[in-house]
Structure 1
Amino acid sequence: MSEFSAASTPSTPGALLGLAVRVAREAAATARRMRAEAIGDVQTKSTATDVVTAADKAVERQVIEALRAARPDDDVLGEEYGTSATSATSAVRWILDPIDGTVNYLYGLPQYAVSLAAELDGVVVAGVVVNAANDDEWTATLGGGAWRGGKRLHGSAPGSLSQTLVGTGFGYDARRREHQGRVLAGLITQVRDIRRFGSAALDLCAVAEGTLDAYYEKGLNPWDWAAGGLVATEAGIVVSGLGGVAPGIDMLVAAPPAVHGPLHDALAALDAAGGA
C-alpha cells in the first residue's frame, strides 16, 4: 500500500497539509532536476511572452498522480491541464501551480515555486509553497497559522502607506501591461518602493513573513494564489479584491490591516482593476 493511501489521509486540514507538503517537495525536486533539459523545450500559451516548459507539464502530471494514489476521489485544478475531475464523492479539490514563475525558471532566476492548496467544500484549508530553487517552504492551515521553518509568521507593520514596500506583477497581454504601467506610475510616488519578483505565490509568502509589506496584482488565477493567499491570511494579512469584491482575476490586494485600506483606496483611485 502506498504511504499516501486514502486510508492514511483523512480530510482534515492537518492531514491534507501533510500530504501536500510531501507531494510538493517531491515536485520541487523534479522541477530543479529537470531545469537544464526542460528549458530546451519551451512553448507559449496566451502570448509570445507567456511561456511553458516541459517541466511545468511533467511536474503537474507527477503531482496529479501522487494525489490520485493517495486520494483517488479528489479533483485537481492545475494550471497546465485544467480540471482533472473524477466521478468523486470527495469534497476536496487540490489547486496546483506546478512552477509559478516559469520565466524565472527559464532564465535561472531563483524565484520559482510549486504551489499546492487543498480546498474543502469550496474553502482553502491547507497550502504549501516551495521555492524549488532553494527548498524554502511556507505552509498554512485554516485557523492554524502560517509557518516557515518552524517559525510562525505575522507579516510586517509599516507605519503608513508611504513606508510600504509593495510587490506586484504584470500580465502577458501588451494592452494589460500598458494599463498596469500607468497604475504603477501613479502608485510609486505614494509608497516606499515597488518590487517585481515574478512569482505571485512567493510574493504572497514574502508579505506573510514581512520581506514585502504588501502585494497587488491583476489577472491572477486560482492556482497563482490559493496556497500563498492562505499563508498570507493566516499570517494576519488582509487579502481582498477592490470595492468589496473577493480576490481573484480582477484584482488581489494583500497588506497588513494598518495599510490595507490606504493601499486599496489608492489602487481603486488608479482604476487598477480596469484595463484589458
Structure 2
Amino acid sequence: METAPKKPAPVASPSAHAAAPRPLAGLTAHVAGTILTPTAPTPPPNTTQTGSNWTINQGVAVDSNRRRFGLELVNIALAAATHTQDAVACARELLGGKQLNITAKASAVDPVTVVDIFAQQRITEILRHQRPHDTVIGEETTSDEELPPADSEITWIVDPIDGTVNFIYGIPAYGISICAVDNTGYLLAGVIANCATGEVAYAWHGGGAHLVRRPQLGTALSTQHHPTTTANTPPANATVTDMVDWLNTTLSTPHHFGMVDQQATSTNATTLHPAHPATLAQALLATGFSYQSTNRKQQATLLTQILPNVRDIRRRGSAAIDLLSVAHGQTDCYLEHCLNVWDWAAGILIAAEAGAIVSLAPLDQRAEDNALIAVCAPSIADEFTHLLNTIPQHLTQ
C-alpha cells in the first residue's frame, strides 16, 4: 500500500485539547469477553458509603459481520502502525534527545514533542488514504480534525506516542496505539506498536490477540537512508512547524518503511494469553500516574490499599504497554485512574481478546473524568473484584 503525498495537517497546539469536541459522546465501549463492571450501591440509611460494587459480567457476543469487518480494519491499522513505528524509531535515531521542541500540555510534566505531532499526522494520512470518510481523533489532533464527517462509520482513536516521557529519555517503553470503533461503540480493531523494541500487538473483534516482533529498523534506516549531512541536519532554532516539516521531508518515502510486511493472519504471530497466578498475593500489578498532582495523591492512596495484597507493582510509563503486558502474561493485573480514551482503547481490546477480564468506560472519556480502568487475569478475578469492593468508593470509581 502506498500513500499519496499530502500537505501536512495543521500542527496541534496545547490549547486545542481543552476545546476539543467529543465525537463519541454517549457511547460506552463494547468488547466480547468477560467484563468488570462498577456500580455505585445505595448505602443503607444513616450509613457512610465505604465500598464499591464491582461485579463480573459477560460482554457482548461475537458478531460474525463485525469480526470480518474488524479483520479488514486491523490490517489498515497495522499498516499505519508499522510504518509509523519505523518512522518514529528513525526520528529518535536522527534527533536523539535533542531538537524535540518539547512543550507542555495539561501540566508542566505532561510533554509533547515534534515527533508526537509528526507521528499523528503520518498515522492520520495513512488511515484517511484508505478510509477517507472516517473520523480520526487522538492525543495530538486539533479541534477541527476531530469533527466527525456526517457519514462517518468508523472512528479511529489514536495515541501517536504513548509514553512520551520515556521517548524523551530513551527508555524503551513507548509506542503507537490505534483503535477502530464503530458508531455503536464496538471496539473492532486495535494495534499497539512498541517503537523501541519492534513488538507489534494486535486484535480484532472475535479474532483473538496476537503479537509479532519486527526488526528494529531505526539505526539502519537513519544510517542508510538519512546520513548526517548538511541537507539532512535539522534546521537550527527551528519552530515546531519547521521541525515537523523537516521530519515529513526527511522521512517522506513510504518504501523506506515496512508498511505491508505484517498482516493480521500472518503465521509468524504469537497468540497472546494472560498469565495464571494462583492467588492475588502472587500477582504482579501494573499501574501508572496522572500528570496532575491532585490526581497523583488519590492514585498513591489507592496503591496503599492495593500493595499489601499483591506481589509487587510495575510502572512502565505507558498505559498502552501496561495493558499489553497483562494480555501478554508479563503482569497479572492493572489499575489506573485519569486516562484518556486513546490511552486505553486499543489496549483494552487486545487484553479482552487475549482472555483477560477488563473494565470498560465511556468512549468520550478524558483524564479529568477520573474513571478507573481495571484489568486482571481470569485466575484472580474473584479475589481482584473482592479487593476492589473493599476499597472506598471514591478511590475506585
TM-score scaled by length of structure 1: 0.90
Residue type matched to 1:263 in 2?
F
| Runs of 4+ in structure 1 over 4 Å off | 2-5, 245-249
1:167-219, Cα deviation, whole Å (9 max, x unpaired) = 00000111111121121122111101100001111111110010111111001
CA distance in 1, matches of 2:182, 2:379: 30
Decide which of 37, 43, 47 is 2:107's aligned counterpart: 47
What is the SS of the residue equivalent to 1:171?
Answer: coil
The DSSP-based 3-state class of the residue aligned with 1:34 is helix
Contact 1:74 1:88 (8 Å CA) reproduced: no
Q: Find 2:90's aligned residue among 29, 33, 48.
A: 33
- Output the amino acid matched with 2:115: A
Which residue pairs with 1:231 in the alignment?
A: 350
**Structure 1: 5+ residue runs without aligned partners?**
6-10
- 1:61/1:117 CA distance change after superposition, 3 Å: same
CA contact (8 A) 1:251 1:273 kept: no
1:108 aligns with 2:170: yes
Q: Is the 8 A contact 1:24 1:130 kept in 2?
A: yes
Q: CA deviation at 1:67?
A: 1.2
Number of residues paired by the alignment? 267
Q: Secondary structure at the match of 1:27?
A: helix
Deviation at 1:4, TM superposition (A): 6.5
- Assess, with a 3 A threshold, how the Cα gap between structure 1 residues 221 and 268 changes in structure 2: closer, same or farther: farther
Q: Secondary structure of the residue that 1:252 maps to in structure 2?
A: strand
Match of 1:129 among 192, 199, 203: 192
For the pair 1:141 / 2:198, whether they are aligned, the reply is: no
Partners of 2:188 and 2:204 within 8 A in 1? yes
CA distance in 1, matches of 2:125, 2:152: 17
Q: Which residues of 2 match residues 160-239 of structure 1 at below 5 A?
A: 160-239=279-358
Aligned residue for 2:127, secondary structure, equals helix
1:264 is displaced (CA, Å) by 3.3
Which residue is 1:258 aligned to? 379
State the one-letter code of the partner of 1:94.
Answer: W
Q: Which has the higher contact order (CA 8 A, sep 6+)?
A: 2
Closer, same or farther: CA 173–26 of 1 in aligned 2, 3 Å: same
How far apart are the structure 2 equivalents of 1:182 and 1:158?
25
Which protein is richer in strand relative to its size?
1
Alignment of 1:261-272 (within 5 A): 261-271=382-392
- CA change 1:19–1:168 in 2 (3 A) is same
Equivalent in the alignment of 1:8: none
Match of 1:91 in 2: 153
Match of 1:67 among 109, 112, 127: 127
CA separation in 2, counterparts of 1:39 and 1:265?
47
Q: Indicate conservation of the 8 Å contact 2:287/2:336, yes or no.
A: yes
Structure 2 residue matching 1:274: 3-state secondary structure? helix
Structure 1 SS opposite 2:374: strand
Q: How far apart in 2 are the matches of 1:186 and 1:174?
A: 19
* Whole-angstrom distance in 1 between the partners of 2:103 and 2:385: 36
CA distance in 2, matches of 1:275, 1:48: 26
For structure 2, list consecutive stretches of 5 or more residues without a partner in the other structure: 5-67, 213-268
Whether the aligned pair in 1 keeps the contact of 2:134 and 2:152 (CA below 8 Å) is yes
| TM-score using structure 2 length | 0.63
> Aligned partners of 2:294 and 2:388: how far apart in 1?
18
CA deviation vs aligned residue, 1:206-263 (integer Å, no higher than 9, x gap): 100101111110011110011111110001111116xxx7696510100022323322
